[in-house]
Structure 1
């Protein structure tokens, strides 16, 4: 309890927090642990002055376990987090040079321009995070962090011609998140085999998914949703044997779901929604024992849904609507499941819902000429179907006149002429006006 209170007090003093912002926890493997500081061990004087320049209180020793090393006579910072920076807080190369022992740097809601990081600091950095903070980030700036194992950028635009500019020299990189950074270009063809986590979602990436990506045997999370990717999924996707989460939603990826995905034993999250996938949904998906999240909505799948009700209920999330040629078997899935797709008929085709009784269907026909002189050569004439179900259809008087005239010579050419009237744009048909037009048609035919 005392250690917990000490930790909270330190961050309140050191970081001047005014709000709490979610942040991925720093890797314990990349942070040097330290024992509780002794009274004789204080922070290096140059680093104390650097913290004071950043307006960080230093009235108490800022070192707690995992934030400083255990060197003597002076300790050195290993972890620096700047959150909700004030307008008078500015980075400088001099300050950063004094903090060159830091291995983890986090910026949260610090809207400050990027400054040159001295080589002594870029060499030591293992983890770098910027969330809605650094302005004018570039791929060249980030590429100097050769020894990073964790890179997390969210909400900060990055000017770069492609991801490879940023990551190609990071030979130790394990986790990379470049979320909502306005990145353009293509996915890299060369990948660090140590990668376990990739999130490039909500950018402007284009092109296809390279086969080389499927060689990452240690990859657990792949999120490249909300981009402009196209093409088909590589058949070798099943080579990602450690994958737990695969999110490709909101792209333009097409083709079938590759059968190799069945070889991924621990897949928990599969999101293929809002793409152009087609073909039948493979049955092997229902045999993936660890699957809890399945999104296949808004694609072009067809045929009969190969899942039963017990499989669907086992999932935490299941989305399948928006596949208009797909249907479900009513003998194994009840209508109460409300899947958002049609039931199948005996031929395995979707049963289309009947037209609404009060919603007439319309079909355009050619203008048969002027009726009462008001059409003026306008082509905008339609035939209204299912007249008996519409309140604005011919009344009994008109129908009676039509029947009587039908026995006379010359006969009425067709009943459709009786029920033909002009469709007024964006206006409802008035029964009186329709009745007058029908009488004109009857009178013309009679004469």
Structure 2
């Protein structure tokens, strides 16, 4: 007999969770795992992880409402529908690797207590919902390896507690709205693998090695310049002078080897040809007397 709240026990059963063992007991089953509080007379779930779920997994509003005491919810390789707003008290939500499609629901912003959110390795698309700006204590956000598109929203840089941000391998485009101070305060920052995304060279140094190209004056990614044999190792592939780079448009403005001036070279060649012609005419006049 389990001392778990009977409503929550029924909810687990409706999800296909085996309750042959006490969900609040130890150890938890291998694929599915739970953690409970110490309330009396009935304990309540505070953490739930479901793995390799069956296709008939039931996540009805009634079942989720019964699990409103959850603080951490994780699914792995489960065909789940969107999580609705009945779990507003969640602090951790992991929906990675679940073959999810579509867009993030706008009511994701209702999870105002969420600290950790991972939606990595799905097939999610669309923009990042603006409602996420209402999540004040979010510290870990992983949207990597999806198909998110649109611009990276400015509000992310205003999340004061954010420490882990992974946006790599998506379809984001435009100029990233982050400055160096924001990026340096992050413990993890990944944004590579977005071929239509670029960074502003007046705000960010190429030495940050972001994995994306610099922007041209139109806000579009530029291609790296061809490699040079005498290239200074301290200069990034994306760090070169152009008319939008603030360093002058001259080819040799950044230093390095200076070739001969084209005008001087042209004059020298012309004079050489003229001298040869004069000598040739002189030679002919002597030859034919």
- TM-score with structure 1 setting the length: 0.43
- Report matched runs for 1:19-418 at 5 Å: 122-124=1-3, 142-143=18-19, 148=24, 152-155=28-31, 172-178=44-50, 181-185=51-55, 188-190=59-61, 191=64, 192-201=67-76, 203=77, 205-206=78-79, 208-210=81-83, 212=84, 214-354=85-225
Indicate the structure whose relative CO is greater, using CA pairs within 8 Å and at least 6 residues apart: 2
Q: Is the 8 A contact 1:325 1:350 kept in 2?
A: yes
Structure 1 Cα separation of the partners of residues 184 and 29 of structure 2: 37
Structure 2 Cα separation of the partners of residues 215 and 174 of structure 1: 15
Structure 1 Cα separation of the partners of residues 98 and 23 of structure 2: 28
Report Cα offsets for 1:78-114 as digits up to 9, x if no partner.
xxxxxxxxxxxxxxxxxxxxxxxxxxxxxxxxxxxxx
* Aligned CA distance change for structure 1 residues 335 and 153 (closer, same or farther; 3 Å): farther
Q: Is the 8 A contact 1:150 1:176 kept in 2?
A: no
Report Cα offsets for 1:159-211 as digits up to 9, x if no partner.
xxxxxxxxxxx993221123xx322436723212111111113x2x235424x
- Report matched runs for 1:5-24 at 5 Å: none
* Aligned CA distance change for structure 1 residues 216 and 207 (closer, same or farther; 3 Å): closer
- TM-score with structure 2 setting the length: 0.64
Structure 2 Cα separation of the partners of residues 339 and 232 of structure 1: 26
Shift of 1:351: 0.3
RMSD of aligned residue pairs (Cα, Å): 3.0
Q: Is the 8 A contact 1:176 1:197 kept in 2?
A: yes
Structure 2 Cα separation of the partners of residues 293 and 187 of structure 1: 32
Structure 1 Cα separation of the partners of residues 216 and 27 of structure 2: 52
* Aligned CA distance change for structure 1 residues 264 and 280 (closer, same or farther; 3 Å): same
Structure 2 Cα separation of the partners of residues 174 and 200 of structure 1: 15
How many pairs are equivalent?
A: 208
SS in 2 for 1:318: strand
Q: Is the 8 A contact 2:112 2:134 kept in 1?
A: yes
Q: Is the 8 A contact 1:207 1:230 kept in 2?
A: no
Looking at CA atoms only, which structure, 1 or 2, has the larger radius of gyration?
A: 1
SS in 2 for 1:237: helix
Structure 2 Cα separation of the partners of residues 265 and 143 of structure 1: 36
Structure 2 Cα separation of the partners of residues 345 and 221 of structure 1: 39
Report Cα offsets for 1:363-396 as digits up to 9, x if no partner.
xxxxxxxxxxxxxxxxxxxxxxxxxxxxxxxxxx
* Aligned CA distance change for structure 1 residues 247 and 156 (closer, same or farther; 3 Å): closer
* Aligned CA distance change for structure 1 residues 342 and 140 (closer, same or farther; 3 Å): closer
Unaligned runs of 5+ in 1: 1-121, 127-138, 158-169, 359-447
* Aligned CA distance change for structure 1 residues 156 and 286 (closer, same or farther; 3 Å): closer
Structure 1 Cα separation of the partners of residues 110 and 16 of structure 2: 32
Structure 1 Cα separation of the partners of residues 104 and 129 of structure 2: 7
Residue in structure 2 matched with residue 41 of structure 1 by the alignment: none
